[in-house]
Every structure is written in C-alpha cells, then in structure tokens.
C-alpha cells in the first residue's frame, strides 16, 4: 500500500484484524429463545430483547455460536420495582458435566434495596468461586454495560467499563483455567426465590408480575469456536486475536485503582475470605495476585 508508513500500516492492519473478530451480534441474527418464547420478544431492528417472567414461566436466549476468548458485552436494564426472588442471568457456558462457565447473575431485591451482582466461574465442572457486589447505581433506571473479557491470560468482569473482578490464569501452578472449551452466550430471567433474596427468605410477589428485563446491543468481539482446532487458533498471539496483545495481559494502573475501589466499597461476599466454608483449606487461587 503506497503512502502508508510503518505506524499507519500497523494501525490499518490492527483495525482489519479487530473488525474481523467482531460478530454481527444482533439478537435477531445471533441468538434464539431456548425457553419462554411465548411471552418474550426481539424488538426494533433486531438489536433489542425483552425477557419476561410470570407465573407461567421465565424466559431465556442463547447464542447460535460458541466462542473461545474475546470480549462479550450487553446493555441491560434490570427488572424494576419489587424484583425480590428474581434472577437475571447473563453468562458464558459450555455443556456437559465438565463444563466451563463465566457468570454474571443479578439478584433482585425488595423495592428500594440495592441489586446484588453475583459472579462465579466454573472450570471443568467445578465452581464454588462466588464473589458478590452491590451496585452503586440504580440498574433499573437505564441501560448499563456488562462485559466479560476473557483471554488466555485472565478473565475480567466489567460494569460500565469498570473492572470489578479478575481471575488470572495460573494453570502452570495446577489451578484450572477455562481455555479448552468454546462457550455460548446465555441470558435468562427466572424464579429463584428459594435462594436469590436474603438466602430465600424473601419470596416473589406475583402481584407485581410480569417482571421484565430489557437488553440492547449484544456484541461479541470474540474468536469463533470451530471445535478443538480453535484451542490453538484462538489462543495464538496473532493480530487477529487482538485480545492476546500485551495491553490485555493485566489491568492498567488506573484499572487496578478502579478494581480496588469496587472491591473495597461494594463487595459483600468473597469466597476467598470464607474460611469457615472451606474449613481453612482455602482454594489455591485465593493466595495469588488477581489483576
């Protein structure tokens, strides 16, 4: 390309690689209802989704494609009012007994009480890595961005571009990490009043039904899973795999400050400090640096 200097060429090639990894992820093209389709809907030009929970059932969607590494984001406006007992789930998951999974779950609450964000990660079918936060804004008043960034080095959970949790890859120290299975994107709205609000003490008030969660702009800037060959293809540090660049190997100093703020001020449960639960035998990742 005549006239392109080295820097311009690098920027151009980076832009091409970045674009090639963006999945055209409108709900209408990239997802389908896996339950509750009778009372939920994809709206507008296919870029909006409405999930409903009533006494007949909840509802859910899943992506047609699976991915291995990348950035998955969604704008969500959570169930307003008395949402106690409801859970709005947004997560990545493979299938089978030894599945991998990366979770955002939003636990409803009584009117005026803050929403709880429940995060978890499963590797080879093993979970028990829960961390919970209370949001510092009203997630029912407007749409907010919830992003899962997943690469060979680390997983980061973001709320409006602010990191709230990191799980780094310490596989070389015997700690399992999800890097061998493609995962689809799922979201659902369902009745979990046996555990969701105050440990199940507060039940769903069905007189407030239907409960509605609204979604916009599902985007998957991710490597498409095409079977086991994708393990090396998606994990290799190539320009197409933008998420493997050094910039994404750990949080910046500014992001580390944001992470500390979120955890110091808004974390309400951390499995890594629940000594009674684990009888003092804490999971090995709990002693590792996570940023």
Active site positions, annotated: 101, 105
185/39 Cα distance (integer angstroms): 21
Nearest to 135 by CA among 153, 161, 114, 152: 114
Q: What is the largest CA-CA distance in the chain?
A: 69
- Two tokens, residue 27: 């709900």
Alpha helices in the chain (DSSP H): 6-20, 27-30, 229-235, 253-266
Apex 71 CA angle, 91 and 241, nearest 5: 135
* Exposure string over 123-146, b if 16+ CB within 10 A, otherwise e: beeeeebbbbbebeeebbeebbbb
In terms of phi and psi (left: phi > 0; alpha: psi -120 to 50; beta: otherwise), the region of 53 is beta
SS3 34: strand
Is residue 176 within 8 Å of residue 123, measured between CB atoms? yes
151/90 Cα distance (integer angstroms): 18
SS3 86: strand
Per the document, the length of the chain is 291
Q: What is the CA radius of gyration of the chain?
A: 20
201/282 Cα distance (integer angstroms): 28
SS3 39: helix
């Amino acid at each position: 390309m005549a006239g392109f200097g080295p820097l311009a060429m690098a920027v151009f090639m980076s832009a091409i690689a970045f674009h090639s990894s963006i999945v055209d992820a409108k709900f209408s093209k990239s997802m389908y209802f896996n339950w509750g389709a009778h009372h939920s809907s994809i709206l507008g030009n296919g870029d909006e989704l409405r999930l409903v929970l009533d006494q007949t059932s909840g509802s859910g969607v899943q992506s047609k494609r699976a991915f291995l590494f990348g950035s998955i984001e969604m704008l969500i406006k959570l169930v307003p009012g008395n949402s106690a007992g409801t859970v709005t789930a947004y997560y990545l998951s493979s299938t089978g007994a030894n599945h991998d999974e990366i979770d955002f779950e939003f636990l409803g609450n009584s009117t005026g009480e803050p929403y709880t964000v429940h995060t978890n990660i499963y590797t080879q079918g093993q979970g028990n890595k829960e961390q919970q936060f209370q949001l510092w804004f009203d997630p029912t008043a407007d749409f907010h961005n919830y992003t899962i960034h997943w690469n060979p080095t680390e997983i980061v959970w973001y709320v409006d571009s602010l990191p709230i949790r990191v799980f780094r890859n310490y596989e070389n120290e015997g700690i399992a990490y999800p890097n061998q299975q493609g995962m689809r994107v799922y979201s659902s709205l369902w009745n979990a009043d046996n555990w969701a609000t105050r440990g199940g003490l507060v039940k769903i008030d069905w007189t407030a039904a239907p409960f509605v969660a609204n979604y916009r702009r599902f985007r998957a800037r991710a490597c498409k899973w095409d079977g086991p060959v994708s393990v090396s293809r998606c994990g290799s540090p190539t320009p197409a795999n933008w998420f493997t660049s050094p910039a994404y190997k750990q949080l910046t100093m500014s992001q580390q400050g944001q992470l500390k703020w979120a955890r110091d001020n808004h974390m309400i449960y951390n499995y890594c400090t629940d000594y009674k639960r684990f009888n003092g035998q804490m999971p090995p990742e709990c002693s590792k640096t996570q940023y």
